[in-house]
């Protein structure tokens, strides 16, 4: 058994920058077909999946004496049926409820017969579930592209109301394996044991709340059968060691443009994040009313009071990278500053109200621009709804990259970094405590600082997202998720950016 926890993969990404490929459901089916053609029978792969599931149960829930399996009509159901047979043969009390309909594969029929011979107890398929110490979700796997209906939907809702643990085989039933979205009820698993290869939908959107602990068993399929994919788990490049004779000019000058009246704190957060990520110099261009607060918070920041776009002439000339949007607002003052920044010909990171202004009046972005929308901002830029963005975050991120020509950081549960070619990296770190005002401003400053230190837009976006997520996780570990604020990330940013060298 080659059962790999996601945590292990994350560790190898951080230490070795290993490439962990993510696949669509049709690609996984193609891998399975290639394995069968190479001489691995479908029934053998099903038996391997069942073995992996049973070994996991013995390790994770050795005290579970009563196991109830919910089996669907496809091969995912066959995995569950064969697992039930193994558990019963080992002396556990095992019951099965099945969703009927459709033609079963030969492998699934063999699994059903194996479970019957083992003496598994078939229970009447009703809306209620029997009492068990562990429930196994083997309803749909990657084979569902609609909302579950009928008894399956009732079972999913019942499972989600129970205190007992739930093991989902391959994919939590109801979850779209390609998008991480769902059209209806979704199993909230304690553990998801995926098979063959990682499915891209397990790492973003609804999946972040439904998968629980993620594990993978490759079913001993040779690595050379895995096709190339443009979607991977985030694997940012390491930063180079600093030269011993370096000076502040060696690490760039970030200019944060934002901080309209009442919102200077957003610009300050972005500015300090840029400092903590290693920019040599950081300036703020803000509305005059924000000057006292900005200078009191962080004296290392150089603050320019800008009454209109003409006040940007000197700060723009001195800057090497611009971070535009934190606290910018959507006034005429704001639009004037954005236009001046776009015309400056400097590397750009655009966020928040800079994106809202772009949605109102489209402007051409310069090459190597990074934009960091949340789903609502992405929807405004693409002229659709937030629900459309969240229904397929992968497609939305690539569409937005093609639409703008920028490197796109689509924030949210399972942040995506995408470019117009279809290349995507998915961040599996971060936590709900980061869902508070200002954390996006911190990310903007971090990416801008990495650009100022010489990273290309793609690499700066990837590394910035990774460092930001890990800083959020460390802040949550230090004091909990609830009540965490954006500035709690800043001490961890400094520590983490120095561990990447």
When pLDDT is cut at 50, 70 and 90, the band that residue 365 belongs to is very high
Say if residue 496's pLDDT is above 50.
yes
Instruction: Please enumerate, as own/partner, the contacts of 241-248 that have beta carbons within 8 Å and a separation of 24 or more.
Output: 241/501, 242/501, 247/280, 248/280, 248/281
Other CB atoms closer than 10 Å to residue 222's CB: what's the count?
11
> In the prediction, which pLDDT does 18 show?
64
When pLDDT is cut at 50, 70 and 90, the band that residue 330 belongs to is very high
> In the prediction, which pLDDT does 11 show?
31
* Spatial separation of the C-alpha atoms in residues 214 and 22, rounded to whole Å: 13
3-state secondary structure of 40: coil
- Over pLDDT 90: what percentage of the chain? 85
* Spatial separation of the C-alpha atoms in residues 209 and 212, rounded to whole Å: 7
Tell me the average pLDDT across 425-454: 97
Least confident stretch, 17-21, 140-144, 399-403, 477-481: 17-21
DSSP 488: G
Say if residue 310's pLDDT is above 80.
yes
List Cα–Cα distances, 87 to 56, 67, 113, 124, 358, in angstroms: 11, 8, 15, 20, 58
> In the prediction, which pLDDT does 9 show?
34
Look at the block and give the residue holding tokens 């963005």: 389
Chain-wide mean pLDDT for the chain? 92
> In the prediction, which pLDDT does 16 show?
38
Say if residue 180's pLDDT is above 80.
yes
* Spatial separation of the C-alpha atoms in residues 422 and 286, rounded to whole Å: 36
* 30-85 tens-digit pLDDT: 999 999 999 999 999 999 999 999 999 999 999 999 999 999 999 999 999 999 99
> In the prediction, which pLDDT does 10 show?
30
Tell me the average pLDDT across 386-391: 96
Beta bridge partners of 254: 282, 321
Say if residue 21's pLDDT is above 90.
yes
When pLDDT is cut at 50, 70 and 90, the band that residue 236 belongs to is confident
Residues with Cβ within 8 Å of 243's Cβ and at least 6 positions away in sequence, in order, are: 250
Global pTM value: 0.92
> In the prediction, which pLDDT does 76 show?
95
- Over pLDDT 70: what percentage of the chain? 95
> In the prediction, which pLDDT does 500 show?
57
> In the prediction, which pLDDT does 241 show?
85
* 150-165 tens-digit pLDDT: 999 999 999 999 999 9
Say if residue 295's pLDDT is above 80.
no
Show the domains of the chain with their CATH numbers. Answer: 3-228 (3.40.50.10260), 251-499 (3.40.1190.20)
* Spatial separation of the C-alpha atoms in residues 260 and 284, rounded to whole Å: 11
Say if residue 498's pLDDT is above 50.
yes
Ramachandran assignment for 427, one of left (phi > 0), alpha (psi -120 to 50 degrees), beta (any other): beta
């Amino acid at each position: 058994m080659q059962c790999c926890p996601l945590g292990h993969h994350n560790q190898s990404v951080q230490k070795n920058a290993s490439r962990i490929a993510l696949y669509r459901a049709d690609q996984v089916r193609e891998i399975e077909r290639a394995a069968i053609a190479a001489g691995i029978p479908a029934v053998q792969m099903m038996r391997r999946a069942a073995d992996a599931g049973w070994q996991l149960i013995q390790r994770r829930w050795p005290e579970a004496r009563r196991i109830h399996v919910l089996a669907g009509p496809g091969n995912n159901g066959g995995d569950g049926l064969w697992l039930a047979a193994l558990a019963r043969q080992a002396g556990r009390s095992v019951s099965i409820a099945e969703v009927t309909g459709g033609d079963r594969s030969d492998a699934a029929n063999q699994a059903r017969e194996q479970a019957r011979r083992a003496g598994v107890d078939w229970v009447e398929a009703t809306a209620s579930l029997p009492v068990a110490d562990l429930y196994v979700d083997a309803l749909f796997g990657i084979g569902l592209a609609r909302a579950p209906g009928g008894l399956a939907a009732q079972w999913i809702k019942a499972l989600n109301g129970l205190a007992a643990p739930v093991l989902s085989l391959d994919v939590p039933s109801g979850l779209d394996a390609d998008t991480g979205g769902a059209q209806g009820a979704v199993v909230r698993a304690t553990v998801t044991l995926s098979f063959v290869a990682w499915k891209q939908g397990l790492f973003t959107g609804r999946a972040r709340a439904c998968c629980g602990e993620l594990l993978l068993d490759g079913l001993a399929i040779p690595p050379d059968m895995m096709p190339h994919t443009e979607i991977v788990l985030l694997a940012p490049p390491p930063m180079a060691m600093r030269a011993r004779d370096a000076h502040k000019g060696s690490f760039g000058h970030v200019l944060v443009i934002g901080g309209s009246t009442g919102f200077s704190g957003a610009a300050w957060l972005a500015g300090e994040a840029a400092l903590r990520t290693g920019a040599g110099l950081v300036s703020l261009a803000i509305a005059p009313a924000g000057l006292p607060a900005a200078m009191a918070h962080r004296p290392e920041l150089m603050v320019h009071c800008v009454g209109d776009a003409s006040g940007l002439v000197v700060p723009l000339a001195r800057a090497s990278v611009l971070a535009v949007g934190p606290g910018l607002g959507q006034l005429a003052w704001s639009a004037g500053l954005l236009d001046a920044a776009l015309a400056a010909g400097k590397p750009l990171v655009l966020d928040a109200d800079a994106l809202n202004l772009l949605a109102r009046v489209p402007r051409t972005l310069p090459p190597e621009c990074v934009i960091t929308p949340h789903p609502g901002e992405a929807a405004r830029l693409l002229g659709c709804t937030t629900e459309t963005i969240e229904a397929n975050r992968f497609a939305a991120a690539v569409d937005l990259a093609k639409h703008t020509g920028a490197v796109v950081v689509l924030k949210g549960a399972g942040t995506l970094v995408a470019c117009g070619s279809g290349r995507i990296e998915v961040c599996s770190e971060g936590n709900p405590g980061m869902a508070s005002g200002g954390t996006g401003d911190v990310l903007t400053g971090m990416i801008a600082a990495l650009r100022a230190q010489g990273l290309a837009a793609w690499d700066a976006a990837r590394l910035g997202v990774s460092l930001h997520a890990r800083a959020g996780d460390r802040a949550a570990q230090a004091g909990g998720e609830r009540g965490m604020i954006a500035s709690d990330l800043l001490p961890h940013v400094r520590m983490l950016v120095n561990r990447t060298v």
